[in-house]
Amino acid sequence: MSRIEEMIRELCPEGVEYKQLWEVTVWDKKFNAVERNKQKKVYSYKYLLASELFDLEQENGDVRLLSTGEYIGWTTEELAGEYLYEGEIVTIPWGKSIGAKNPIKYYKGKFVTADNRIATSLNTSILSNKYLYYWMMSQSDAIDKFYRGAGIKHPNMKDVLDMEIPVPPLAIQHEIVNILDKFTELEAELEAELEAELEARRKQYEYYRNKLLSFNGITPPLKNEVKWLAMSEVFEMKNGYTPSKAKPEYWTNGTIPWFRMEDIRMNGRILSDSIQHITPEAVKGGRLFPANSIIVATTATIGEHALIIADSLANQRFTNLSIRKSLIDELDMKFFFYYMFIVDEWCKNNTNTSGFESVDMAKFKKLMIPIPPMAEQRRIVAILDKFEVLVNDISEGLPAEIAARRRQYEYYRDQLLTFKHKEDGKIQPCS
């Protein structure tokens, strides 16, 4: 018999009390659909937009940046300013795009938050915050189903607060937390080993990718067939922008993708939809960035790019590259998407350092890029697509092994958090 089983037999032989979440937690705001008696107390937190949150990032900071996604960053107390808070909290994102994960976070210490919904135990002598976090993690699929809406989805907080959480005696909660902390640490170590192997594979992939895309040392006959043109000769370039947040008609019920760096961080480098959307009224001159074009970060997080496959816009960090009509039949944009990894490195090494760091656009427009014959472009794309699958596809190789480790952990966690339900009114509360 395990230690947990012994404790349950001793302290709660007839089962464990279940409480609705509103009975044992405090949240960061009053929710419209929730009865007032279910939220007699709230803790308010000022929050930042994701773009503002990322702007605070400092590598050696000791204040946690709590995004609504999987991004983890740090800042300083000085930069945090009036947005600095301290506590032990559990968060769920207020808004998320269709198909996006629903990251539930736990943190104890100083933090700055984006637009998260923040929970903490009403009474830590009854409910441990860390136990609350592990339980909510075990219920992440159920919580995810409470999100509603088109485009950006928001949770129905009435459904969330009405969820029933098992509340065993505190001693049992602490034992479960200790077990899961250790198991989390072990799982992280195993994942780290696999991630290290995966990183080695990625470096191998990058080596071969750069080798395939290096045309400076090539010999005839291909050498004579590669055309070198300046970026400005190949692409029309437009800057992204942020429509006024003061005008709700630019954002309310928006359907047009509006990309930010967080979209790349969360959803990868080939993008068809965004986390946030704008309305047609927000589009200057009615002109969108066309599908099958590239966005590249030319300020702030320089040297990040994505292939966008839907008509869209992006914020001011990005410059859009859309191929000129005269060259549509000569350049495969998937080929150039891969070549952009070389351009990314060039961007990082060619910046204006006066004021806000940005790519030297005068030099960028003159940068010479290769255009090999279309057959060669497609050959390279086919090879690199296979490499991408080997390295990134969750259904194959090391990523699949990492996913299996996580499923194993989740199964064990869920078993620990499953209790016999004590029938109300038949027995006295557990001691």
Mean pLDDT of the chain: 89
| pLDDT over 70 (residue 206) | yes
Cα gap 171→193, rounded to integer Å = 33
| pLDDT over 80 (residue 258) | yes
Q: Which of 146, 167, 188 is the last residue of a domain?
A: 167
Supply the CATH number for residue 102's domain: 3.90.220.20
Least confident window among 108-112, 116-120, 392-396: 392-396
Assess whether 247 and 364 both reside in one domain. Answer: yes
Q: What's the domain count of the chain? A: 2
Q: Which of 371, 396, 412 is the last residue of a domain?
A: 371
pLDDT at position 70 is 84
In this structure, is residue 6 part of a structural domain? no
Least confident window among 94-108, 223-237, 239-253, 267-281: 94-108
| pLDDT over 80 (residue 82) | yes
In this structure, is residue 151 part of a structural domain? yes
In this structure, is residue 205 part of a structural domain? no
In this structure, is residue 428 part of a structural domain? no
Least confident window among 87-91, 151-155, 251-255, 344-348: 151-155
| pLDDT over 90 (residue 313) | yes
This model's pTM is above 0.75: no
Assess whether 163 and 244 both reside in one domain. Answer: no
| pLDDT over 90 (residue 117) | yes
pLDDT, tens digit, 9 for 90 and up, residues 218-256: 556 666 789 999 999 999 999 999 999 899 999 999 999
* Largest separation between any pair of C-alpha atoms in the chain: 88
pLDDT at position 200 is 83
pLDDT at position 98 is 64
Assess whether 125 and 258 both reside in one domain. Answer: no
| pLDDT over 90 (residue 216) | no
| pLDDT over 50 (residue 427) | no
pLDDT at position 392 is 66
In this structure, is residue 299 part of a structural domain? yes
Q: 312, 264, 252, 245: which is closest to 52 by C-alpha? A: 245
In this structure, is residue 29 part of a structural domain? yes
pLDDT at position 397 is 66
Domain that holds residue 271: 227-371
Assess whether 58 and 127 both reside in one domain. Answer: yes
In this structure, is residue 274 part of a structural domain? yes
Cα gap 120→28, rounded to integer Å = 9
- Say which residue, 189 or 20, is predicted with more confidence: 20
- In this prediction, residue 429 has a pLDDT band, given cuts at 50, 70 and 90, of very low
pLDDT at position 425 is 38
Q: Which of 371, 392, 413 is the last residue of a domain?
A: 371
Assess whether 248 and 346 both reside in one domain. Answer: yes
CA angle at residue 197 from 303 to 305, to 5 degrees? 15
| pLDDT over 70 (residue 40) | yes
Assess whether 235 and 162 both reside in one domain. Answer: no
Q: 326, 324, 323, 345: which is closest to 335 by C-alpha? A: 323
